[in-house]
Amino acid sequence: MIRVFIVDDHPMVIEGIKSMLLQLPDMEFVGFAMNAGSCEGYFANNTADVVLMDINLPDLSGLELCPRLLKKHPGLHIIALSNFDQLSYVQSMKEAGARGYVLKNASADELHRAISAAMEGDSYWLGKDNLKEHWASQQPLLTRREVEVLRLIAEGLTNNEIAEKLFVSASTVDSHRKNLISKLQVKNTAALVKTAVESKII
Amino acid sequence: MWIFVCKPPTDRHPYSLQPYPYLSTVFVLRTLVCSVLFFFAGLAVYGQADTLRLSAWPSFEVADRHLDIAVDSADVVPIERAHTLSFASPGTGFLNGVIVPPATGYRYFYRLVVHNDTPDSAYYFVTASPQRSFAVSVANGNQPPRPAALRHRHHRSDPVTKLADVAFAPGETKTLYVQLKFPHYTPSNMFIWLVEQRSEYYFFTYQIGYLSRQNTFSWFFCGMLMMMFLYIALKYVQIRTREYVYYAGYIFFFLGYFGLKTLVVSGHEWLWHAEWYNGFVNDQLQTAGYVMYFLFFQQFLHTRSLMPDLHRFISVLVVVLPIYIGIDFVLFFFPETTVAKDTLWNVIRVVLVAITLYCIWRTARTRSPLGKYLIIGGLLLAVFALTAMVFSFYPGLIENLPSPFHWGITYFQIGVAAELICFALGLGYKNRQDEIQKLKAEEELKRQEAQVEFERYKTMTQAREAERGRIAKDLHDGLGGMLTGVRLSLANVSPSTPEGASQLRRSLDMLDGSVYELRRIAQDLMPLALERFGLVSALRDYTASVGSMGTVRVAYQTLGDTRRLTADQELICFRLVQELVNNTLKHARAKNILVQLAFQSGALELTVEDDGVGFAPERLREAEGSGWNNIHSRVSYLKGTVDVQSRSGEGVSVHIFLPV
C-alpha cells in the first residue's frame, strides 16, 4: 500500500482526491493538511510515501514547502497538485524536487499513473514523460529587422547610415547587431557577415 | 517598402530646449542693412545739397580788397547780451581777408587791411572763435609776422576775449594778420570779429569771415540714426516692450542733436543764428537723450531687481532732468540769467557723464550677461568721444587724413554708432532670452501636464491591474478550487445505469471545459506566474498557451542575460506582448508568430513578428486610434520607443526598445 498525504487549502478538493484515492486498489489515505505549517507538523511525527501538494497554500507556497519537506524527509515522493497548467509552474516544481505534476481535474487514472511513476523512481509531468521536449530550445530565429540590418551591414554601411535608412536610432541598430552576433554565435561583425553569407541568410 | 516609425508621446515634447538661434543675428543684420540703406539715402538727399552749398560759397577766393569800417548805430548792443548775440548779429558783412598760401613757409593767414576814415581815434580789439584755432598779430607792413611773434591767448569759446588790441589814429590804415592754426578743424564754424571798444558797456561787432565745410559723413550718420529709430519704433509695435520705446527715444534725441549740428556745420545760417537753437535746443536735446538712456538702462537691465539702489537713484534722476529742462526753457526767456544758465548746464553735463560712467561701472560689477552689451557700448562711446576730444585739442594729428577722418566729430559719431549697435545687439540678445524664457515656461507647463497625465495613467493602470490580479486570484483559488472539488466529488459517483454513466461523463467533460476556461480567463486577467517567476517564464507560458490553441505556431526566444525587472516593468512588458500577439491573432491571419526578448545592459528589446497579412498604411492609421494607442502609452510610460515595420501581405514586425 502506498501511503498518500494531501496538502491543499480546499476541503472539497481534499474530499474529492481522497475518495478518488480510495477507489484505487493500492492506495492508502493517511491524512491531510490545509496549510504548510500543519503539514510540517504532521511529518514531524508521522510519515507517508507520497505527498500530493497544492502550490497555492495560505502560508507557504508549494514551491517553498517542497524543498523544506524533502530536506527533512528525503524519502518522500512529492507530486504537485495544482490548478495551474503553465509550464513555468511545472518547471519550478520540478526544480523544487517534485517527482510529478498533476492538474486537480485529472482523472483517477492519471493520478494513479503519476503516483506509480513517482514511486518507481520515474516522474510524471502533466501527462508528458519528458519536459525537455517541450522546453526544447529551437534554432534561434532572426527577426525581419535583424535580417534587414544584417543585409545592410553586409553592404558595408555604418551604424549611422543604417539607422538613417531604417528611421531608427544608431543605438537600436547597434543592439540589433549585438543580438545578431549572439544569435549566430560569432565573435565580430566580419564573422557575422561571413556566417550569414555561408548559411544563406542573406 | 513602406516604413512607419511610431514615436512615443515623450518624443513629441522637445524636452531638450530648442531656442531660436537666428533671432539676434537677424535683428542685427536688419539694423545694419537699414543703416547702410540710409547712408545712401542721406548721400542722395543731403550729400548733393551740401556740395551745391559749398560750391556756391567762394570762401577763400576773396581777393585782396580795401574796405572802410562804417560805424552804424544799429550795431550798438548792450554788452550783457554779448554771449548770446555774438552769433545772432554777425555784423554788416565780410571784411577783406585773404589766405596766404603755405608756400611762404607760414601757416594760413587772414590778412585784414583796416582803414579808419573817421576824424576820431578808434579803439578795437580782435577776437575769434574758437580761439584755440586762431592767433592774431597786428602789424604795419605787407609781410606776415613770424609765428613766434604772434600773440595768442587761450580763452576757449568766449568770442569777446581780446586776442589783440588795435588802436587806429584818425585816417590810419593798419594790416592785421589773423592766423588760422588748424585749417582743417572746424567744430561748427569759425568767426573772426573786429570789436570796437568805445566804452565799458558798448561795442561793435563785425564778422570778418567764417569757414564752412561739408561733412557728408555726418549726413550718413544721421541717416543711420533715423533708420535705426524707425526700425526700433517698428520693433516696438511688434514686440511691445518698453525698452524699445526708450531706445527709440534715445536714438531720436541723438538724431535731433546730430542732425541740427550737421545743419550748422554745413553752413545753414538760419540755424546758427537761431537763438532757440543755441540757447536751448542744443543743450536740452542732449539732456533728453540722457533721460532716455537712463530709462533704457533701467528697463533693459531690470535694475529694479539687479541693483535696487541704483534703480531708485535713476528713477529720481529721470524726474529731475525733465524739471531741469523746464527750468532751462524758462531761463531762456530771461537773458540776464544767461551766465547762470550756462554754468548750470556745464555742471549738469559733467554730472551726467559721471553718472553714466558710474552706471557702467556698476553694471560691470553685476557681471550680468545683458550688461556686457551696455558696458561695451558705453566704453566704445567713451573711447571714441575721448579720441574726438583729443583730436579737437590736437587737430594736427589728423589734419592730413582723408575726409571725413580729419574731422574730430567723425570719431564721436563712430563712437555713438558703435554704442547704438551694441545696444541693438543687446536688445536682440534680450529678446532672444525672453523667447527662450517663454519657451522654457511653455516646456515646463507641457512637462507638468505630461507628468499629470503620466501620473493619472499610472494610477489608473495600477488600480486596474491590481483589480485584475485580485479577480484572477479569486477565480483561480476560489471558484477554481470549488469547481475542481465538484468535479472530484462527481468523479467518485458510481452511476447505476449506463445512461447515468454517460450523463456523468458528459458532466465531467463540461466541468473540465469550465475549469479550463476559468484558467484561461484568470491567466488572461493576470498571469500569476509573472509575479512569481518573472517575465521570461510568464511569456514562455503565454506563448506556449497561444501555441497550444493550434491556430498559429509561436516561437519564443530570449537573448542576453535574462534578469528580473520591477513588477511594473514586467507587467507592462507582458501586456505589450499580449496586446501585440492579440492583434496578430485578431487581424493578421498569421501562421507564425515570433516573440523575442533581448536583454542588454540597461535595456530590453521586445520583438513581435508575424507573417500575416500585414498593414496597409490606411489600416495602420486606422489602428492608431485603438490598440496602438495602448501600446504607445505603455511604451512611453517606460520611456521607450516603438518601431513598427510592415508591408501589405508580408506581416508586421514590431520592435520595442525599453530602457530598464
Chain A closest-CA separation from residue B516 CA (Å): 9
Side by side, which strands form the sheet with B67-68? B67-68, B108-115, B173-180, B134-139
Higher per-residue confidence, B294 vs B407: B294
Say which range, A118-127, B20-29, B286-295, B303-312, has the weakest mean pLDDT. Answer: B20-29
Q: Residues of chain A whose C-beta is under 8 A from some C-beta in B? A: 9-13, 15-17, 19-20, 23, 56, 61, 63, 83-89, 91-92, 104-105, 107-108, 134, 137-138, 140-141, 143-145, 166-169, 172, 175, 178-179, 182-183
| CB-CB contact of B306 with B368 (8 Å) | yes
Residue B33 CA to residue B224 CA, distance in Å, equals 10
CB contact under 8 A, B641 and A183: no
User: What percent of chain B lies above the pLDDT cut of 90?
Assistant: 13
Chain A closest-CA separation from residue B374 CA (Å): 45
Say which range, A161-165, B199-203, B220-224, B597-601, has the weakest mean pLDDT. Answer: B199-203
Q: Tell me, what's the pLDDT at B102?
A: 34
This prediction's pTM: 0.54
CB neighbour list of residue B14: distance below 8 Å, 6 or more residues apart: B443
CB contact under 8 A, B481 and A13: yes
Q: Tell me, what's the pLDDT at B43?
A: 56
Which member of A13, A88, A105 has the closest CB to residue B537? Answer: A88
Average confidence (pLDDT) over A76-105: 87
Which member of A16, A92, A172 has the closest CB to residue B643? Answer: A172
Residue A88 CA to residue B544 CA, distance in Å, equals 10
**Which residues in B lie closer than 8 A to residue A140 (C-beta atoms)?**
557, 559
Q: Tell me, what's the pLDDT at B622?
A: 61
Side by side, which strands form the sheet with B603-610? B3-4, B641-646, B652-658, B603-610, B592-600, B553-559
- Tell me, what amino acid is at B479? L
CB contact under 8 A, B487 and A16: yes
Confidence of residue B321 (pLDDT cuts 50, 70, 90): very high
Q: Tell me, what's the pLDDT at A1?
A: 84
What is the number of alpha carbons within 13 Å of residue B234 lying toward its C-beta?
Answer: 10
Residue of A nearest to B513 (CA): A105
Q: Tell me, what's the pLDDT at B199?
A: 39
Highest mean pLDDT (candidates B259-263, B290-294, B407-411, B609-613): B290-294
**Which residues in B lie closer than 8 A to residue A137 (C-beta atoms)?**
557
Q: Tell me, what's the pLDDT at B269?
A: 61
Phi, psi torsion values for B638, nearest 5 degrees: -95, 10
User: Mutation test of the interface with chain B: which of A6, A7, A13, choosing the one with the most B Cβ atoms within 10 A?
Assistant: A13
Say which range, A65-79, B39-53, B93-107, B243-257, has the weakest mean pLDDT. Answer: B93-107
CB contact under 8 A, B607 and A145: yes
Judge if the upstream peptide bond of residue B90 is cis by omega within 30 degrees of 0. no
Which member of A86, A104, A141 has the closest CB to residue B555? Answer: A141
Structure-block grid coordinates of residue B501: 454513466
pLDDT digits (tens, 9 = 90+) for B159-191: 455 667 777 777 777 766 666 554 443 434 455
Phi, psi torsion values for B180, nearest 5 degrees: -95, 105
Residue B154 CA to residue B466 CA, distance in Å, equals 99
Task: Give the other-Cβ count within 10 Å of B89's Cβ.
Answer: 18
Chain A closest-CA separation from residue B45 CA (Å): 58
**Which residues in A lie closer than 8 A to residue B487 (C-beta atoms)?**
16, 104-105
Q: Tell me, what's the pLDDT at A5?
A: 94
Chain B closest-CA separation from residue A133 CA (Å): 13
Strand-strand pairing, A124-125 and A100-103:
parallel
Residue A120 has pLDDT above 80, yes or no: yes
pLDDT digits (tens, 9 = 90+) for B331-366: 888 877 777 887 888 899 889 989 998 999 999 998
Residue B6 CA to residue B115 CA, distance in Å, equals 103
Q: To 10 degrees, the CA torsion angle through A83, A88, A89, A90?
A: 100
Q: Tell me, what's the pLDDT at B38?
A: 61
Q: Tell me, what's the pLDDT at B647?
A: 75
Residue B393 CA to residue B387 CA, distance in Å, equals 10
**Which residues in A lie closer than 8 A to residue B482 (C-beta atoms)?**
10, 12
CB contact under 8 A, A105 and B476: no
The stretches of B492-534 forming alpha helices (DSSP H) are 498-525, 528-533
Q: Tell me, what's the pLDDT at A11?
A: 85
CB contact under 8 A, B487 and A19: no
Cβ-based contacts under 8 A for chains A and B: 142
pLDDT digits (tens, 9 = 90+) for B575-610: 999 988 988 888 878 888 999 999 988 889 999 988
Across A22-33, b (16+ Cβ under 10 Å) vs e yields eebeebebbbbb
From the number of C-beta atoms within 10 Å of its C-beta (0-12, 13-18, 19+), residue B377 rates as buried
Residue B178 CA to residue B133 CA, distance in Å, equals 10
Phi, psi torsion values for B199, nearest 5 degrees: -145, -170
CB contact under 8 A, B487 and A178: no
CB contact under 8 A, A168 and B643: yes
Task: Give the other-Cβ count within 10 Å of A161's Cβ.
Answer: 14
Residue A121 CA to residue A50 CA, distance in Å, equals 12
Residue of B nearest to A108 (CA): B491
Sign of CA dihedral B420, B423, B428, B431: negative
DSSP labels, B64-107? ---EEPPP-GGG-EEGGGHHHHHHH---S-PPP--BPPGGGSS-
Query: Residue A122's closest CA among A99, A105, A102?
Result: A99
Q: Give the single-character DSSP code of B148.
A: G
Q: Tell me, what's the pLDDT at B77?
A: 30
Chain B closest-CA separation from residue A105 CA (Å): 6
Cα three-residue angle B64-B65-B66, rounded to 5 degrees: 135
Confidence of residue B476 (pLDDT cuts 50, 70, 90): confident
Which member of B484, B489, B655 has the closest CB to residue A83? Answer: B484
pLDDT digits (tens, 9 = 90+) for B213-227: 556 777 778 888 888
Radius of gyration of chain A (CA): 26
Confidence of residue A188 (pLDDT cuts 50, 70, 90): confident
| CB-CB contact of A115 with A50 (8 Å) | yes
CB contact under 8 A, B485 and A11: yes
CB contact under 8 A, B532 and A166: no
Confidence of residue B64 (pLDDT cuts 50, 70, 90): very low
Q: Tell me, what's the pLDDT at A130?
A: 47
Q: What is the 3-state secondary structure (H, E, C) of chain A?
A: CEEEEEECCCHHHHHHHHHHHHHCCCEEEEEEECCHHHHHHHHHHCCCCEEEECCCCCCCCHHHHHHHHHHHCCCCEEEEEECCCCHHHHHHHHHHCCCEEEECCCCHHHHHHHHHHHHCCCCEECCECCHHHHHCCCCCCCCHHHHHHHHHHHCCCCHHHHHHHHCCCHHHHHHHHHHHHHHCCCCCHHHHHHHHHHCCCC
Query: Residue B598's closest CA among B568, B628, B651, B556?
Result: B556
Task: Give the other-Cβ count within 10 Å of B358's Cβ.
Answer: 12
Residue B565 CA to residue B535 CA, distance in Å, equals 8
**Which residues in A lie closer than 8 A to residue B529 (C-beta atoms)?**
84, 86, 88-89
Phi, psi torsion values for B195, nearest 5 degrees: -110, 130
**Which residues in A lie closer than 8 A to residue B532 (C-beta atoms)?**
61, 63, 88, 92
ipTM exceeding cut-off 0.85 for this assembly = no
pLDDT digits (tens, 9 = 90+) for B535-579: 998 898 888 888 888 888 888 888 888 889 888 889 889 999 998
**Which residues in B lie closer than 8 A to residue A92 (C-beta atoms)?**
532-533, 537
Average confidence (pLDDT) over B483-499: 82
CB contact under 8 A, A105 and B487: yes
CB contact under 8 A, A105 and B529: no
Residue A4 has pLDDT above 50, yes or no: yes
Confidence of residue B385 (pLDDT cuts 50, 70, 90): confident
Task: Give the other-Cβ count within 10 Å of B264's Cβ.
Answer: 21
Chain A closest-CA separation from residue B544 CA (Å): 8
User: Mutation test of the interface with chain A: which of B1, B477, B484, choosing the one with the most A Cβ atoms within 10 A?
Assistant: B484
| CB-CB contact of B118 with B71 (8 Å) | yes
Across B314-326, b (16+ Cβ under 10 Å) vs e yields beebbeebeebbe
Which member of B519, B533, B596 has the closest CB to residue A83? Answer: B519
CB contact under 8 A, B600 and A175: yes
Residue B42 has pLDDT above 60, yes or no: no
Which member of B484, B645, B651 has the closest CB to residue A13? Answer: B484
